[in-house]
Amino acid sequence: MSLFWYDFMQRALIGVLLTGLSAPALGIYLVQRRLALIGDGIGHVALTGVGLGLLTGTSPVLTAVVVAAIGAVVVELVRERGKTSGDVALALLFYGGISGGVFLATQSDGRASLLSYLFGSPLTISSHDLVVMAVLGAGVLLVTVGLRPWLFAVCQDEEYARVAGLPVRALNLLMAVTTALTVTVAMRAVGLLLVSALMVVPVAAAQLVTRGFGSTMAVAMLLGVVAAATGISVAASYDTAPGATIVLVAIAIFAAIAGTVSVLRAVRRRRGAPVRPAVNAEPPDVVLQP
């Protein structure tokens, strides 16, 4: 009998699928802005929220959302004002966030629970956790897909977006909060330390085979779902760590696509056919339309 007949496996599958769908949808904007590692920083801040939830006896997921959102907004405001470099801001996120989370969790005797949030534990996702993940995931998709032209314009050229009349600051803050929501969605599925991989790796793989921003987003989301479904299946079959297995599957997909593309390009060169590089450009009329 398949393990997915069990309720806890069905919840785990739905949880990782939500993560595989929402993480690349947000990750493509971070990659476009060369902020691929910001997910790690926000993840460390979310760890403080988890520790706070364990200490106060409230839902760690909800406290993680609040703390991560506040941290993301602070970092965005610091980046915008230019009072310190992005590297310093990320360093503060990394070390302050993880230190605060560990400190608070140890005060509440929640060390074992903390590990499940660090490395993911989809098999322990409850019905309540699944509802929260679904709501947050829907919010992430609503922002990333619904506001795609605006967000693309801001990521591509902020000055151009201002001239076009877009609310750049509001969109930047919205993107920061959406990053926090994405991290929180993925927290139970792949863990805070691995969430950035699902934001970046499917996008990097999709960029190898697509030529437009919209198509790259669609393919990245598809690859994220495939990696999530395959990873949880492999983990269930061979009793491996689900979060790590999902990320390794995503990396394997990237390696397979990169290898295939390299072989095809080598064949085209040998035959004398021109090789066209991928272009992630959006038509100007799409960008300017509200």
d(CA 6, CA 197): 28
Per-residue pLDDT reduced to its tens digit, 248-279: 999 999 999 999 999 988 888 888 765 555 44
Residue 84 has pLDDT above 60, yes or no: no
| Sign of the four-CA dihedral 89, 95, 96, 98 | positive
What residue segments make up the domains of the chain, in order of their start? 6-288
Q: Residue 205 has what pLDDT?
A: 95
Q: What are phi and psi of 210, to 5 degrees?
A: -120, 160
- 3-state helix/strand/coil string of 39-74: HHHHHHHHHHHHHHHHHHCCCHHHHHHHHHHHHHHH
Give the pLDDT of residue 17: 94
- Over residues 59-68, the mean pLDDT reads 87
Q: Pinpoint the alpha helices (H) of the chain.
A: 7-32, 38-56, 60-81, 86-107, 111-119, 127-146, 148-156, 158-163, 168-187, 195-207, 213-238, 242-271, 284-288
Name the 3-class secondary structure at 212: strand
Predicted confidence (pLDDT) at residue 177 exceeds the cutoff of 70 = yes
**Arithmetic mean of pLDDT over the chain:** 84
Which residue type does 281 have?
Answer: A
Q: What is the pLDDT of residues 111-167, one digit of tens each?
A: 657 778 888 888 888 888 889 889 989 999 999 999 999 999 888 888 888 888 889
d(CA 246, CA 221): 14
The pLDDT tens digits for 21-33 are: 999 999 999 988 8
Residue 290 clears pLDDT 80, i.e. is over it: no
Identify which has the larger pLDDT, 106 or 22: 22
pTM: 0.85
What is the C-alpha to C-alpha distance for residues 170 and 184, in angstroms, rounded to an integer?
21
CATH no. of 6-288: 1.10.3470.10
Q: Which of 58-72, 80-94, 185-199 has the lowest mean pLDDT?
A: 80-94
